[in-house]
């Protein structure tokens, strides 16, 4: 039976030391009761308390850590089926395969390429989360060591032969790679290797029933398990959904682990589409072969969008931003504090190579049109914001560029502020570079 917050609280040290990241033991107990945290997140809970509470207070899906402090990927401990119910907690990671068929030199070059795949979107860096190195080459230990030395991301060791896996894991001791993967044919040996190395283990079954059976057996020796699925299409989404629902809604412990999906598609485009779908529902890791930016970026964008907290407005600070090194004759624009809007505008201003000032108006995280429709922006508010941000002190001219979607503000701004020449800018951010090329003759 589920424990109440009060029952859990009784077994906590009650020192309110905050080491668990929340202000009080009671607040932490409520989070454990709601299955949002694990009891083990309190480093001070006694062994007695742990044994009394651990099974009943365990989150429905275990948190799994791959790698260590320098290179770490965490996934799992999700609490809801749908993002709008609360939020998804840990963004899915993209893992890129390094095939066994490559020579050491080519494998090294591929890992260098993987390291370089960093994209900046909405102010955040999106990267490849894991390097999935196939170790069943001539020398599994050497291949694992090469990957560990070169990769900036934690490792997945991909293989099916216990001897090769043992050698590879031994070569990267202490690095907690994900051991991928055990099935009915090698479970016992792989469990021994994982338990010995204190590394997480991916387990696959020929069916959901077999998978539940295998994780139940593996759990006797290691709790750090990951459910492994082949990503072949709609059937995979169905299985991922069943496993997630069974864990979260029915507390079905054999499925209480995050999932990894190895995407299998004949065409590169299809691999990208399928990986994006699996990442949205409900893979914690998607393993792909494609390493080109056009193959990886759509998956990462999908992950970023799906895992954004819907309860927190996605905003930037409402202040005056200086892009480039604007002088006293630089253009002045305004936009809203919705992150996507701001970063779209800022990115295009930077692309124009025309240094500029951008005043950001607080619209509670809404884009231009939504802010206008929702009464979160007005000409009066724009004037007050620009005055508070002292944009007029920065430039000699009094020419203000306003978003093309708000031409209606023009007259009121000219009538009520020192900005006597209001220029209606583009409706779309992508038109900003061409528009700014004409500055100051707008
Ligand atoms: Fe209480 Fe443990 Fe959190 Fe400290 S770390 S506040 S003792 S629950």
- Ramachandran class of 212: left when φ > 0, alpha when ψ lies in -120 to 50, beta otherwise: alpha
Is a pLDDT exceeding 70 seen at residue 55?
A: no
pLDDT of 224 > 90? The answer is: yes
Please, is 37 exposed, middle or buried when counting C-beta atoms within 10 Å of its C-beta (0-12, 13-18, 19+)?
A: buried
Atom of ligand 1 at shortest distance to CA of 16?
6
Q: Mean per-residue pLDDT for 275-282?
A: 97
Q: How confident is the model at residue 226 (pLDDT cuts 50, 70, 90)?
A: very high
* Residue 2 confidence (pLDDT): 67
User: Residue 86: what pLDDT?
Assistant: 85
Mutate which of 11, 14, 25, 33 for ligand 1 pocket (most atoms within 8 A of beta carbon): 25
Please report which confidence band the pLDDT of residue 70 belongs to, taking 50, 70 and 90 as the band edges.
confident
Starting at the edge strand found earlier in the chain, the sheet holding 320-323 runs 320-323, 356-361, 332-336, 399-402, 421-424
Give the pLDDT score at 48: 80
What is the average pLDDT across 42-60? 79
End-to-end CA distance of the chain: 70
- Name the residue at shortest CA distance from atom 1 of ligand 1: 25
Alpha-carbon gap, residue 320 to 288, rounded angstroms: 42
User: Please, what sign has the CA dihedral across residues 341, 346, 347, 348?
Assistant: positive
Beta strands in 162-315 (DSSP E): 178-182, 201-204, 225-231, 259-263, 285-288
DSSP-derived letter for residue 284 is S
Domain 320-436 top-level CATH class: alpha beta
Q: Judge whether residue 1 has pLDDT over 60.
A: no
Radius of gyration for the chain, computed over Cα atoms and rounded to the nearest angstrom: 26
If one residue of 20, 24, 36, 45 were mutated to test the ligand 1 pocket, choosing by the most ligand atoms within 8 A of its CB, it would be: 20
- If one residue of 9, 15, 38 were mutated to test the ligand 1 pocket, choosing by the most ligand atoms within 8 A of its CB, it would be 15
What confidence category does residue 89 fall into, taking pLDDT thresholds of 50, 70 and 90?
very high
Q: Where are the alpha helices (DSSP H) in 1-103?
A: 5-10, 25-33, 47-57
- Does residue 440 have a cis peptide bond before it, meaning omega lies within 30 degrees of 0? yes
Average pLDDT, the chain: 94
In CATH terms, 63-306 corresponds, of 1.10.540.10, 3.40.50.740, 3.40.640.10, 3.20.20.20, to 3.20.20.20
CA of 316 to the centre of ligand 1 (A): 32
Pick the residue with more confidence: 329 or 7? 329
Please report the pLDDT score of residue 51 as a whole number: 74
How many angstroms separate the alpha carbon of residue 22 from the centre of ligand 1?
8
With a CB cutoff of 8 Å and minimum separation 6, the contacts of 44 are 12, 13, 15, 17, 19
Closest CA to 31 of 233, 40, 369: 40
pLDDT at 57 over 70: no
Residue 54 has pLDDT above 70, yes or no: no
| Sequence spans of domains, the chain | 5-57, 63-306, 320-436
Q: How far is the CA of 226 from the centre of ligand 1 (A)?
A: 28
Ligand 1 mean position to 439 CA, how many Å? 58
Atom 8, ligand 1: residue with shortest CA distance: 25
Q: What is the mean pLDDT of residues 186-204?
A: 97
Using the predicted structure, report yes or no on whether residue 146 has a pLDDT greater than 70: yes
Instruction: Give the CA distances from residue 398 to residues 354, 404, 436, in Å, rounded to whole numbers and listed in that order.
Output: 17, 18, 16
- Dihedrals phi, psi of 266, to nearest 5 degrees: -75, -30
Question: Is the torsion defined by CA of 388, 391, 393, 394 positive or negative?
Answer: positive
Instruction: Give me the DSSP letters along 49-78.
Output: HHHHHHHHHS-SS-EEEEE-SSSEEEEE--
pLDDT at residue 214, rounded to an integer: 98
Query: Does position 262 have pLDDT exceeding 60, yes or no?
Result: yes
pLDDT at 335 over 60: yes
**Predicted pLDDT of residue 169:** 98
Interval 179-188 mean pLDDT: 98
C-alpha of residue 177 to centroid of ligand 1, in Å: 30
> Would the pLDDT of 7 be above 90?
no
User: What mean pLDDT comes out for the span 36-58?
Assistant: 79
Confidence of residue 6 (pLDDT cuts 50, 70, 90): confident
Strand-pairing partners, residue 74, are 65
Confidence of residue 5 (pLDDT cuts 50, 70, 90): confident
Strands (E), 163-245: 178-182, 201-204, 225-231
Q: Does domain 5-57 have CATH number 1.10.150.120?
A: no
Mean pLDDT over residues 225-254, rounded? 95
For ligand 1, mutation pick of 44, 50, 53 (most atoms within 8 Å of CB): 44
- What confidence category does residue 261 fall into, taking pLDDT thresholds of 50, 70 and 90? very high
Distance of CA 214 to the CA centre of its chain: 29
Backbone φ, ψ for residue 230 (5° rounding): -80, 130
Residue 217: is its pLDDT beyond 70? yes
Q: What is the pLDDT of residue 164?
A: 97
Distance 12 CA to ligand 1 centre (A): 7
- Write out residues with Cβ below 6 Å of ligand 1: 12-13, 15-20, 25, 28, 42, 44
Separation of CA 59 and ligand 1 centre (Å): 17
**Between the CA of residue 314 and those of 118, 124, 125, 161, 395, what are the distances in Å?**
21, 12, 15, 46, 30
pLDDT band at 311 (very low <50, low <70, confident <90, very high): confident
């Amino acid at each position: 039976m589920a424990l109440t917050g009060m029952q859990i609280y009784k077994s906590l040290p009650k020192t309110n030391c905050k080491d668990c990241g929340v202000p009080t033991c009671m607040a932490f107990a409520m989070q454990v009761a709601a299955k949002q945290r694990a009891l083990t997140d309190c480093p001070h809970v006694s062994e007695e308390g742990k044994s009394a509470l651990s099974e009943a207070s365990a989150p429905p899906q275990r948190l799994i850590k791959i790698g260590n402090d320098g290179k770490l990927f965490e996934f799992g401990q999700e609490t809801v089926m749908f993002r709008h119910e609360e939020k998804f907690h840990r963004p899915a990671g993209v893992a890129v395969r390094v095939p066994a068929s490559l020579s050491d030199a080519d494998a090294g070059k591929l890992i260098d390429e993987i390291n370089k795949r960093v994209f900046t979107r909405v102010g955040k860096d999106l990267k490849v989360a894991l390097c999935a190195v196939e170790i069943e080459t001539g020398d599994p230990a050497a291949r694992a060591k090469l990957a560990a030395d070169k990769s900036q991301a934690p490792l997945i060791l991909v293989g099916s032969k216990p001897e090769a896996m043992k050698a590879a894991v031994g070569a990267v001791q202490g690095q907690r790679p994900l051991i991928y993967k055990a099935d009915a044919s090698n479970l016992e040996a792989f469990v021994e290797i994982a338990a010995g190395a204190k590394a997480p283990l991916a387990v696959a079954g020929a069916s959901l029933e077999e998978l539940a059976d295998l994780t139940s057996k593996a759990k006797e020796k290691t709790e750090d398990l990951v459910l492994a699925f082949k990503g072949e299409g709609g059937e995979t989404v169905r299985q991922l959904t069943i496993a997630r629902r069974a864990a979260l809604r029915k507390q079905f412990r054999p499925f209480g682990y995050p999932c990894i999906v190895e995407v299998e598609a004949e065409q590169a485009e299809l691999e990208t589409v399928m990986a994006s779908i699996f990442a949205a529902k409900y893979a914690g890791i998607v393993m792909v072969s494609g390493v080109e930016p056009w193959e990886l970026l759509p998956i990462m964008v999908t992950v970023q969008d799906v895992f954004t907290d819907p309860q927190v407005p996605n905003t930037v600070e409402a202040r005056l931003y200086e892009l480039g090194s604007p002088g006293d004759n630089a253009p002045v624009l305004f936009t809203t504090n919705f992150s996507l809007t701001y970063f779209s505008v800022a990115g295009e201003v930077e692309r124009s190579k025309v240094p500029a000032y951008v005043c950001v108006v607080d619209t509670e995280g809404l884009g231009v049109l939504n802010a206008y429709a929702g009464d979160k922006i007005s000409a009066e508010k724009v004037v007050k914001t620009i005055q508070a941000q002292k944009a007029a002190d920065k430039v000699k001219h009094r020419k203000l560029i306003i978003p093309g979607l708000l031409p209606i503000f023009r007259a009121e701004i000219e009538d009520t502020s020192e900005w006597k020449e209001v220029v209606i800018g583009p409706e779309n951010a992508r038109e900003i570079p061409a528009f700014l090329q004409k500055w100051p003759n707008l």
